[in-house]
Chain A
Amino acid sequence: MVYHRIMKLYWALGLAVFTTLIGTPLRAADDDQLGWHSDYKKALQEAKQTGKPLLVEFRCEA
């Protein structure tokens, strides 16, 4: 599975900070192992090359 995450960007003090609504310890471990993409086109390209499906995640302040 190719993983793509679209996250809300907070711009503060000139720094981009990613935010999440998922439990931090679990997420931190899994993020490293899964290798999430933050560029959808790159994720799509990898899916085309490998034949794997994509999981696209939207997390947002709703």
Chain B
Amino acid sequence: MDNVDVGLFERDWNNAIYFFFLNADEQIYLRYGGRDAPAADTYLNLMSLELAGKQALELHSKYQKGELAKTQRPASKFPREIPLLVQRTFANNQCVECHLIGDYINMHREEEGTLDKIKHLYRSPDIKNIGIMLDVPKGLVVKEALSEVGNAGMKAGDRITALNGVPVYTFGDLQHEYDKVDRRAKTVRITVDRAGQTSELTVQLPPRWWWTDLRFRQSSVDARLYFEDRALTKEEKAQHGLKADGFASEVKYVSEIARTLKSHELKVGDIVYGVEGVESDEFAHTAEVYIKLHKLPGDTITLNVLRDGKKFETPLRSFRMSFRK
């Protein structure tokens, strides 16, 4: 990877396979790749790869005829310009695993104070969060249009052609453009082709539309907490006398690592209703997400916990994930 221009080929670096179709002027026609949290191959399929190749050849033909406008080439950036990668990987003659590119860039952002967690940690928001279910072998043809996109007028059989006005040809393109959307945005514009007719739909974005399960990003810079939780329902919050708009959540899993590291004493069934007295947040829907968004790995945090009807405080020490497997 030493000489690969990761500026030109910028992507979510937690993908195991990714393709770019481009020309000799380094104009990228389209991308093929992308994933969701549950699986690396949810959106990978030989038929859709073939379709992407055909679309790329059509775009290339247009480019050669001067029918396709040139776009600004992304600024170059090389792995050797990422100091932590040089110090920890190059210097040890170890291979540059793709995820290290993204992980070390985020570590530098963290050091510089420029890490925007809802954007940089929660990369590649899941299109299913707004109801887009693709017919994967057919590329960007919609199989089902649920929730927000259904309300906006999208229908099964539509083909998505642009996001916020930027043409998209593949799921890789769609996910890449969707990732650029401001996490505080309230709407997104999606253009669809329906039997040859083009429509632009304004889709309302729900709270935490950007949220994804980070567990597959094994070396990400988020604080390791060694418990998992689920948001309480409004009814459950009312039953326990907790804030309706709070991030109170029930502990559903405690890792054995927590016992080994003595990082906390939470038990399954505990309700974490606050973190250092804070009970609600603009972005977090659970205590786990609140801590990941607002605390650093290594921080010791006081949790406000409800157990067997009694409220108490208990410490939690977070950890940073080792980057080497």
Query: Which A residues have a C-beta under 8 Å from some C-beta of B?
Result: 1, 6, 8-11, 21-22, 40-41, 44, 47-48, 51, 53-62
CB–CB B95/A56 < 8 A = no
CB–CB B16/A62 < 8 A = yes
CB–CB B53/A60 < 8 A = no
The 8 Å CB contact of B17, one of A11, A40, A47, A57, is A57
Number of interface residues of B (CB under 8 A): 33
Nearest-CB residue, chain A, relative to B96: A8
7 A-B pairs with CB atoms under 8 Å apart are A22-B17, A53-B29, A55-B21, A56-B9, A56-B20, A58-B9, A60-B99
- Taking chain A's interface residues, is the majority helix, strand, or loop, or is none over half, making it mixed? mixed
CB–CB B16/A44 < 8 A = no
CB–CB B21/A54 < 8 A = yes
Please indicate the chain A residues that have their CB under 8 angstroms from the CB of B60 in the complex: 53
Question: Is B40 an interface residue when CB atoms closer than 8 A count as contact?
Answer: yes
Give per-residue flags for B113-143: 1 if the beta carbon is below 8 A from chain A beta carbons, else 0.
0000000000000000000000000000000
CB–CB B98/A11 < 8 A = no
Question: Is B47 an interface residue when CB atoms closer than 8 A count as contact?
Answer: no
Give per-residue flags for B21-54: 1 if the beta carbon is below 8 A from chain A beta carbons, else 0.
1111010010001000000100000000000010
- Taking chain B's interface residues, is the majority helix, strand, or loop, or is none over half, making it mixed? loop
CA distance A57 to B18 in the complex (A): 6
Please indicate the chain B residues that have their CB under 8 angstroms from the CB of A41 in the complex: 3
CA distance A52 to B53 in the complex (A): 13
Please indicate the chain B residues that have their CB under 8 angstroms from the CB of A61 in the complex: 16, 97-99
CA distance A56 to B93 in the complex (A): 25
Nearest-CB residue, chain A, relative to B93: A11
CB–CB A62/B57 < 8 A = no
The 8 Å CB contact of B18, one of A51, A53, A58, is A58
The residues in B between 50 and 69 inclusive whose CB is less than 8 angstroms from any CB of A are 53, 56-57, 60, 64
Given the known inter-chain contacts A61-B97, A62-B98, please indicate yes or no for A55 contacting B19, CB distance below 8 A: yes
Given the known inter-chain contacts A6-B4, A11-B93, A60-B16, please indicate yes or no for A54 contacting B22, CB distance below 8 A: yes
Given the known inter-chain contacts A58-B9, A62-B99, please indicate yes or no for A53 contacting B23, CB distance below 8 A: yes
Kindly list the 7 A-B residue pairs having the minimum CB-CB distance in the complex, ordered from nearest: A60-B98, A47-B24, A48-B24, A62-B16, A53-B60, A56-B20, A58-B18
The 8 Å CB contact of B95, one of A8, A22, A55, is A8
Question: Is B175 an interface residue when CB atoms closer than 8 A count as contact?
Answer: no
